[in-house]
Every structure is written in C-alpha cells, then in structure tokens.
Amino acid sequence: MTDLPYHFKAGTTPLLISIPHLGREIPDAQLSRMTPRALQRPDTDWHLDLLYDFGEELGASILHARYSRYVVDLNRPPDDAHLYPGQEKTGLFPELTFHGEPLYLDNAVLSAQERERRLNDYWHPYHAKLALEIDRIRARHSVVLLWEAHSIASVLPRLFDGKLPDLNIGTAQGRSCGANVIGAVEGVLQNCRYTWAVDGRFKGGHITRTFGDPDHGVHAVQLEMCQSTYMSECYPYEYRKGLASEIKPVIRAMIVAALEALRSPDRQ
C-alpha cells in the first residue's frame, strides 16, 4: 500500500478532532471473504464528517480514517488487550458485528501474518500521524484538545443493557484531561435536552487513554454518541439533517467550552 490510510487537514488552533471509525474502505482481497451483512458496514461511525463540519470554522486539525474498523480497529491497543475487563470484547481485528453476526464467510480466521500487515499498513500510520500533529500543536500553542469523535447504535444487547445515554463522555476516569476541561463540558451537558453520562459505559478507548496527558498539555476527551440523535440506525444508515441540526450546536458548544477552559489562566 502506497497511499495514506487516512485523511488529514491541518488547522490553526489547539483543537485536533480525530475520527478513527469513520472509514468505509475495505481492500478487495478482504471484501471477497466477507458476509453480505458485513459488507453493509453496520458498525461504522457514519456521517461524523458531516456532523463535525464546523471543525474547520473552529480552526481544528481534522484526522479521520479511510478504512473500516473491520480492517483493524484504530481505537484498540496493538496487543489487543481488553479495554473493559469483564465485558464483551469487540477486538482489534473484529470477527463479529456489534450484534454478533459473522464478518467472514465460513467464519474464516485471520492469519498472524495478515494481522501484522494490517497493523503496519493502517494502525501504525494513523497513530503516528496523531502523535506528530499533537506535537506540532503543542509546540505552537503549549496545549492541545484532542477530541475523539465516535458514534454507535443506541441499542446493542450483545454489548450493554438497555439504551445508551445520547451523549457519552470518556476521560479515563479523569486521567486524560484536566478537571476544568471536563467541568466545562459538563456545564454544557447540564443545560441540554439530551441524556448523558461521563465515564459511564464508555471511559475512552485506546487513543484517549494513550494520548491524553494533561500534565504535559494534552487534554483528550472522547464523545461516543448515539446514532439515533442524528441518523437512521437501519441500513442504509441515512443522515437525518433535521435531527443533526439539533445536536450539532451541543457538540460544538462542548468543544468551544473545553477550548476556553484550556485558555483560561487557571487551567489545569
């Protein structure tokens, strides 16, 4: 593979928006081995490029994956360690959809060589770019807000009970960002009409936990939002502009509040 496995646009402010599960591309050799259901890519973080299109106005650097999480999950550790011990695991190299449906015909298993190749071709380049951009922003602004943008079906019995809150903030139990940053985000949430949780079912994935380093100026926040707030959760997963127009200002307000907290004299 010679082309980059991600799309990137550099910004001018301390904001970096990462969307690691937006990608839909799957290499031809893998496509031929996948089930019809897998080819619908149900676990994509659909349309987040549209939902976060205000990022450019905020001067954000924006990084998002081109390739599907079914190729390799960019938000899992490279050794596939369990992020949520005791709960169902989705894994670095998924073999099932979030609903438990097989991804591969005849339940084929990936070889060790194929796993290593996917890490080298897709996982490592994305993380290297994240690290490079964080260093660039920090050198220029001294601080970075890494906003991890995610979305998920609102009801997934295999993974959790009942319906998820609409907006799920993850900060690795407060370790990935300063208290003033999460306090600013919570201030916006307390005045919105959506249900929400902080460090509940979602505490931040590998990217949030790895790159968040508030003692050195890197504040990472993950937002995992229910897709029911902005799109159809049934195939073909259509973007619902009316719904999106209601939640977009809330997302934007959270990010702006977090940025303002970073710029305040008493930032942590």
The sheet with strand 15-19 has its strands ordered as 6-9, 61-65, 15-19, 144-152, 218-226, 167-170, 196-198
Query: Whose CA is closest to 182, among 159, 201, 204, 166?
Result: 204
For residue 268, pLDDT over 70 is answered with no
- pTM (two decimals): 0.96
Kindly report, residue by residue over 123-140, the tens digit of the pLDDT: 999 999 999 999 999 999
Residue whose structure tokens are 């599907």: 68
Query: What's the pLDDT at 85?
Result: 87
Structure tokens at 54: 């205000």
What's the residue count for the chain? 268
Residue whose structure tokens are 């071709």: 121
Query: What's the pLDDT at 267?
Result: 52
Kindly report, residue by residue over 50-103, the tens digit of the pLDDT: 999 999 999 999 999 999 999 999 999 999 999 998 888 899 999 999 999 999
Instruction: Return the number of other C-beta atoms located less than 10 Å from residue 202's C-beta.
Output: 23
Task: Work out the pLDDT band at 265, boundaries 50, 70, 90.
Answer: low
Q: Are residues 92 and 45 in contact, defined by beta-carbon separation less than 8 angstroms?
A: no
d(CA 59, CA 229): 25
The DSSP result for the chain, as a single string, is: --S-SEEEE--SSSEEEEETT---B--HHHHTTB-HHHHT-TTS-TTHHHHTGGGTTTT-EEEEESB-TTT--TTS-TT---SSTTS----SS-SB-TTS-BSBGGG----HHHHHHHIIIIIHHHHHHHHHHHHHHHHHHS-EEEEEEEEE-SB-TTTSSSBPPSEEEE-TTTTSS-HHHHHHHHHHHTTSSS-EEESSS----HHHHHH-BGGGTEEEEEEEEEGGGTB-SSTT--B-HHHHHHHHHHHHHHHHHHHHHHHSTT--
Query: What's the pLDDT at 1?
Result: 47
d(CA 188, CA 148): 17
Q: Are residues 44 and 68 in contact, defined by beta-carbon separation less than 8 angstroms?
A: yes
Kindly report, residue by residue over 139-189, the tens digit of the pLDDT: 999 999 999 999 999 999 999 999 999 999 999 999 999 999 999 999 999
For residue 2, pLDDT over 90 is answered with no
| Arithmetic mean of pLDDT, 248-252 | 98
